[in-house]
Amino acid sequence: MGILYGFALGIFPVLSIFANGYVVGYVVSSSVSSSGVLSLLDLLPHGIFELPAIFISFGMGIKFGSFLFYKEKAKKFVEFFVNSIRVFIFVVLPLLIIAAIIEGSFISFLK
């Protein structure tokens, strides 16, 4: 969704990045205050792979939204869209799959 949000001048990916940072900060703060600093180890599998995937997606959304500032809008739209889909398939999707496998095995390991 981060890529598609960029269609509107890249404004929504920027807002989503701030919202994501706020939520992660709140969760970290609540976790540390209730369970101590070692509770951050539970968030580690989430942060190593999922957060870079999210930020790459939002970055592509911001880049995708910049097609409106070029003279050949249709050409840049197609170029940015194809490149965004390529990066999504070969970078973001593998990161999310790895994160899902690690989190699934990490959570079942804890129980």
> Which two tokens mark 33?
């205050």
Residue 81, judged by CB atoms within 10 A of its CB (0-12, 13-18, 19+), counts as middle
Ranges of H-type helices in the chain = 2-5, 11-35, 44-65, 73-87, 93-110
pTM above 0.85, yes or no: no
Which pLDDT tens digits describe the chain residue by residue (111 residues)?
766 667 666 678 888 888 888 988 898 888 888 888 887 777 777 678 888 998 898 888 888 878 878 888 889 888 988 998 899 999 999 999 998 888 777 655 555
